[in-house]
Structure 1
Amino acid sequence: MSGSLWLGEEGHGQNTLPFIPRQRPHAVAADPIDELADRMEELIAAAVHPDEVAAILESDGMTDAHIRTTYGRQDSFELAEDLYARVERRYPPAARPPADPWHAALPACLLRGLVFALPGLAYVLGAPLLAGPPDGFGLPAGTVPLLAGAITGWVWNQGLSHRAYAWLGLGDRPAAAAALRAGAPLGAVLSALVALAASGPGELSAAAFAAGQAVYLAAATVLLALGRERDLLVALLPMTAGAAGTVALDLPDVLRTGLLLLSLAAAAGFARRALAGEASGDGGAADERPGPRLAASVPYGLFGLGTGVLVLYAAVADVFADGAGAAVAAPSAVALTLSMGPAEWLLYRFRSESLAGLRASTTAYGFRKATALTLAVCLSGYLAILFALTVVGTLLWPGAPDLGALRLTGLLLTGMVLWTALLLQSFGAVRSAAAVCCAAGGVQVLTLATGAGHPRTVGPVVAGVAAVVLAGLVGALLGRVTAHRV
C-alpha cells in the first residue's frame, strides 16, 4: 500500500522510524527541612513548644543567615515552627528517673540560714560599744556608720561571691580562691573606711565595731563561697554564748569585747585556712581558659545594694520613725535573715519541680499552668515561714514593738520582693531584679532623707509596688519553656 510503512515481523525493518528516547521526569529534590526533621526527630518529638526546638537549633550553632540560605526560612523560630508541625508529638518514658540537678538538702540550707542570722547577736553583745547620745539625725549612736559599713560590705561581697562562683562553675577552684584571697581583704578595708568616714563625733567605738563587722563579712564570704558553713558556725559559737549570757548575767564590757574578738579571729582564721587549702598545684589547662569578666559581677553587686537597703529599711523602720533603740529592729532583722535558709531551699525546690513539669507536660499551656502552681506553692510557703518567724521573734525579744498590721504587711511584702528577686537572679535575670530592688531602695532612702512620708507607711507601699513589678517579670520569664532548660 502506497505510503505505508512496513515494520516487518519484529517491527525493525529498514523503513522504521528512528527511535526517539522518551524524556524521563526529573527526580524531585529532597526537602532539606524534611531531612533536618528526620535527623532531629527524637528531639523534636519530645518538645512541648516550638521555642524549645528553636533553642536546640541555636545550640547547634545554626545562624539566621545559614537558615535563610539552606532552609528558606527567616530565622530559627520560623524554622522551629515548621519542624514542630512536621513531627508528631512523642514522649518516650525514661528508662530510669533522670537525675535532678536542682536537688538541695534542707538541713544544709537551714544551716546557711542560721549562719546568716547569728551575726546579729553581735549587736546585743557589743551594745556598750554603741552606747551614747543620739546623733545629728536623732538616731541611736552609731546607726549611720554601722549602716554605711554594712551596705558597702554587702555590695562588695555580693559581687565578689559571684566572681568566685563563676570560677567554681568553670571547675577552677584555685582561681576562685585567688579571687577571694585578693577581693576579701580589699572589701573589708573599703567597708571600714566608709564606716569611719560616716561616723560623727563620739562614734569612734561604733566605727571600730563597724570595722570588725567588715572583717567578719569578708571572712564569711570566703567560707560560704567555699562551702565551709560548719567552720563559720563554730567561729560564731563564742559570740552566741556571750549574747545568751547577757540575758541572765551582766557581763563586763571587757568580756563582751573579748568574746566578739574571739569569734572574729576564729572566722578570719578559718577563712585563711580554707584559702590556703585551695592553693593551686601544678596549674594546667584551666589557667589558659578565659575567666569571667569583671563587668559581669557588677549587676550582682547592685543586687546586693538594692536588697541590702530593703532589708535594712524593713528592719529599722521603727528606729527611724520613733528614734527608738536598735533593739526594736532585732525581731524583723532576725526573721528576715533566718528565713533566707528556707528561701534558698524553696528556690531549689521550684527549679526542681518546674523541671519535672517540663518533662511531664505535653502542651505549652499545661507547662505554664504547672509552673504557676509550683510558684504559688513555693512563694506561699516562704511567706508562711517568714510570718511564723516574725511572730515568734516579736513574742520572745525583749522590747520588741507590737506586731501591727503595717509592720507585718511591710515585712511580708519585703520578703516577697526578696524571694522573687532571688528567683529571677537564679534564672540569670539579675539585671532586672537589681534594677527593681535598687529603685525601690532608692525611693525608701529618698523619702527618709526628705521626710516625704512616714517610714511605716512608705515601706509597705514601695515594697508592694516592687513586688507587683517583680511578679510580672517572673510571669513573663518563667512562662517560657526555654527558660527552664538545664
Structure 2
Amino acid sequence: MSTGEIKTPQVTAGKKPPKQHPAGRRFAAGEHPAPVLHPVVLPQISTDPLDELVDRLRPRLRRAVDGLQVAAALEADGCTDRIARVEYGFTDVFVLADAVFRGLGPQAHEDTVPPVAARTRWQTPRVLAHGPLYALPSVVFPAVLAVLGQRSLVLALALAGGLGWMYSGTAAYAAYKLLGADRPRAAAVLLALTILAGPLIGAGAGATVVAVTGGGAELILLTAGQLAYQMAGTVLVFYRREGRLAATMLPAAAAGGLYLIVGPAARPAAIATATAGVLAAFAVALWTTRGRGPRDELPGAPVLRAWRTGLAGVSCYGLCSAALLLHAQAPYLLTRFDVAAAAAPLILVMGFVEWRAEHFRGTVVGLTHRIGRPAHFRAAVWRRILADTLACLAVTTVPAAGLLAWLAAIGRLTTAGVLMTAAHVVLGGAYLAAFLLAGFERHLWLCLSLLAAIAVHVGGGLLLGAGPGSGAATVDTALFLGSVLGLQALFLIGLAPLVSQARHYR
C-alpha cells in the first residue's frame, strides 16, 4: 500500500460490514455490543464521621478561636471520652476538639471575640473604695453604743445586719438581671421600692427585738436607719455613684472619729451628723433611680420569674454569710473590744477582694485565647486563683497588723483578739472564692458551706464547753479560725469542677 492510501474494510456483495464498537472493538455478525454508557460525575459524599461532626458544628462554632471552645461545645452535646474513642478514634474529647477546630478552617478576623471595652481610669479606685464606704457607719457605733448601752442592742444590730445583707444582695441581683434583659426602667422601679421598704423592714426587726428583750423607740430608729443606709449604699454602688455616698457619710465618720478623741462632749454632734448623713444618703439614692429607661419598655416580671431560683439562692447566701460573721462577733460587741474590732480589716479590703473577683473572668478569657492545651489551661487558671487568693490574704493582713499593733500599744491585745483577727484575714481569701462561686450561680454550695462552717464553730464550742465567756474566749476564737479555714477549703472544692472548663468563658 502506498503512502497516503486509506484502507477501508472490504464488503462482500449483499453483506453488511461487521459492527464496530466506538472504542474500536470489532463484533462478529449477530453479536450486539453493550450499550454505550456515558459516565456521570457525582459529588463525593464523605463517610468520615469527623467530617460530619465538623459540618454539624460549623454554624455554632464559626466564632471559635481555639480547641477549648470546641471542647466546651462537644461536652455540652454530651460527648464523652468514650464517644471520642469509639466513634471518632481519638483518645479523649480534647484531642477530638483540636481535630474539629482544624477542620473548621481559618476564621475570619471579624469572627474573633471582640476586645473588652476599655475601663475608665476611675474604675479601679471606684471598686477599691467599696470597702471603706461599707465601713464608714461603724465609726459612729461607739457613740451610739454609749447612748443606748444595752444588750438588746447587740441582738438588734445582728438581726438588722443579717436582714439588710440578704435584702440588699437580693435586690441588687434582681436589678442586674433586669438591666441585663434591657429593662432599665424596671430595675430602677425595683430599686426605688426596695429603698422605701428598707427602713420599714429595719423598724420591724427593731420592734421584734424590743418586744422580746426590751428597749425603747431609739432602738427601732437605729435598726430602721441601718437598713436605710444599707439599701442606699447598694443603690448608689449599683449606679456607680460611690462619690455621692462618700459625700453624705464622710461628715458623720469625721464626727464619730472626733467623739473617739474628745469623748462624751462630742457625742451629740456625732449622733446628729450620723442621722443627717443616713437621711441624705437615703434621699440621694432614691433620687438616683428616677427617670431611667423608656416608659414603653417590656415588663420586668417575666424576667424575675425566670430567675426566681437564682433570687432564692442569693437570699440564702446573703443570710448565711451574715450569720457566719455576726454569730461569731455579736457576743463580744459590748464586752471584748479587741475581738469585736477584728472584722474591721476585712470590711476595709472587701473592695479589693471584689476587684480581683471582677478581673478573674476577663483574665481567664484571655487565657483561652493564648493556651490551646487543656492541661496547661487548667494549671494557668489555678495559678491565677492561687495568686489572687494570696493577694487578698496579703492585703487583708496589712490593716490587720495595724489593728493588732494599735491594740498592743493601748494595752488591750489578747490571744482571743489575735485569733479572731487571723480568722478574718483568712476570710479575705475565702470571700474571693465565694465571689467566684456566686458568679457561677453556685448558691446552694455557698449556703451549705457556710452552714457547715457555722455548725463546726458552734458544735465544737458546745462539745468543749467554750463560748464567749471571759475564760473560754480563746478556745471560741480558735474554733472560729478553724471553721473558716475549712470554709476556704470547701469553697475551693466547689470551684474545682468549674473554673478550668473553657465552656464557662465563652
CA contact (8 A) 2:419 2:478 kept: yes
SS at 1:276's partner residue? coil
Please report how far the alpha carbon of residue 344 of structure 1 lies from its aligned counterpart in structure 2 after TM superposition. Answer: 1.1
Instruction: Measure, in 2, the Cα distance between the counterparts of 1:94 and 1:124.
Output: 61
Residues 427 and 295 (structure 1 numbering): CA distance in 2 closer, same or farther, change over 3 Å? closer
Instruction: Look up the match of 1:107.
Output: 125
Equivalent residues in 2 for 1:48-197, closer than 5 Å:
48=68, 50-54=70-74, 82=96, 84-88=98-102, 99-100=115-116, 105-132=123-150, 135=151, 142-197=153-208
**Aligned pair partner of 1:290 in 302, 323, 341:** 302
Do structure 1's residue 263 and structure 2's residue 263 form an aligned pair?
no
- Which residue, 398, 403, 410 being the options, matches 1:393? 403
Q: Please state if 1:219 is matched with 2:229.
A: no
TM-score, length-scaled by structure 2: 0.78
The answer as to whether partners of 1:316 and 1:329 remain within 8 angstroms in 2 is no
Secondary structure of residue in 2 paired with 1:88 = helix
**What's the offset of the Cα at 1:21?**
5.9
Show the counterpart of 2:360.
350
2:127, 2:351 within 8 Å by CA — same for their partners in 1? Answer: yes
Distance 2:87 2:148 in 1: 69
1:46 aligns with 2:66: yes
CA shift digits 1:184-209 (9 cap, x unpaired): 33343223212321242346533432
Instruction: Report the 3-state secondary structure (helix = DSSP H, G, I; strand = E; otherwise coil) of the residue aligned with 1:282.
Output: coil
Shift of residue 122 of structure 1? 2.4
1:476 is aligned to 497
- Residue pair 1:157, 1:184 contacting (<8 A) in 2 also: no
Equivalent of 2:392 in 365, 369, 382: 382
Match of 1:17 in 2: 32
Asked whether the 8 Å contact 2:342–2:421 carries over to 1, the reply is no
Q: Which runs of 5+ in 2 are unaligned?
A: 1-16, 467-474
For 1:382 and 1:221, how far apart are their aligned partners in 2? 23
- Does residue 1:231 correspond to 2:244, yes or no? yes
SS in 2 for 1:142: helix
* Alignment partner of 1:409 out of 411, 422, 428: 422
Q: Structure 1 residue 363: deviation in Å? A: 0.2
Please give the secondary structure, in 1, of the residue aligned with 2:228: helix
Residues 1:34 and 2:59 are matched in the alignment = no
Q: What is aligned with 1:426? A: 439
Equivalent position of 1:138 in the other structure: none
Q: In 2, are the aligned partners of 1:314 and 1:411 still within 8 Å (CA)?
A: no
The alpha carbon displacement at 1:415 in A equals: 2.5
Deviation of the 1:367 alpha carbon? 0.6
Partner of 1:461: 482
The two structures have a TM-score, normalised by structure 1, of 0.81
Distance 1:87 1:423, change over 3 A: closer
Per the TM alignment, residue 428 of structure 1 is displaced from its structure 2 partner at its CA by 2.5
Distance 1:355 1:92, change over 3 A: same
**Residue 42 (structure 1) shift:** 6.1
Shift of 1:84: 4.0
Q: Find the partner of 2:323 among 309, 318, 322.
A: 309
Matched pairs, number: 454
1:364-379 superposed matches below 5 A: 364-379=374-389
Q: CA deviation at 1:351?
A: 2.1
Matched-pair contact (CA < 8 Å) for 1:307–1:441: no
Distance 1:85 1:458, change over 3 A: same
In percent, how many aligned pairs have the same letter?
Answer: 19
Listed one character per residue, the Cα deviations across residues 393-421 of structure 1 (whole Å, up to 9, x for unaligned) are 23346675446653343223322322211
2:289 counterpart (265, 271, 275): 275
Out of 251, 262, 266, the position equivalent to 1:249 is: 262
Superposition RMSD on alpha carbons, in Å? Answer: 3.7
- Partner of 2:302: helix, strand, or coil? coil
Q: 1:385 & 1:151 partners in 2: Cα distance?
A: 26
Q: Provide the C-alpha distance between the structure 2 equivalents of 1:44 and 1:222, rounded to a whole number of angstroms.
A: 38
Give the Cα–Cα distance (whole angstroms) in 2 for the partners of residues 449 and 232 of structure 1. 42
CA distance in 1, matches of 2:314, 2:354: 17
CA distance in 1, matches of 2:411, 2:277: 26
Q: Which has the larger radius of gyration?
A: 2
For residues 223 and 96 of structure 2, the distance between their equivalents in structure 1, rounded to whole angstroms, comes to: 62
- Residue in structure 2 matching 1:198, options 183, 188, 209: 209
Classify 1:186/1:45 alpha carbon distance in 2 versus 1 (closer, same or farther; 3 Å). Answer: closer
Matched to 2:268, the amino acid is: V
Q: What one-letter code is carried by the residue in structure 1 that aligns with 2:208?
A: A
Secondary structure of the 1:362 match is coil
Extract unaligned runs of 5+ from structure 1: 1-5, 136-140
Compute the displacement of 1:148 (Å): 1.0
Change (3 A) 1:153 1:400: farther
Superposition deviation, residue 110 in structure 1: 1.5
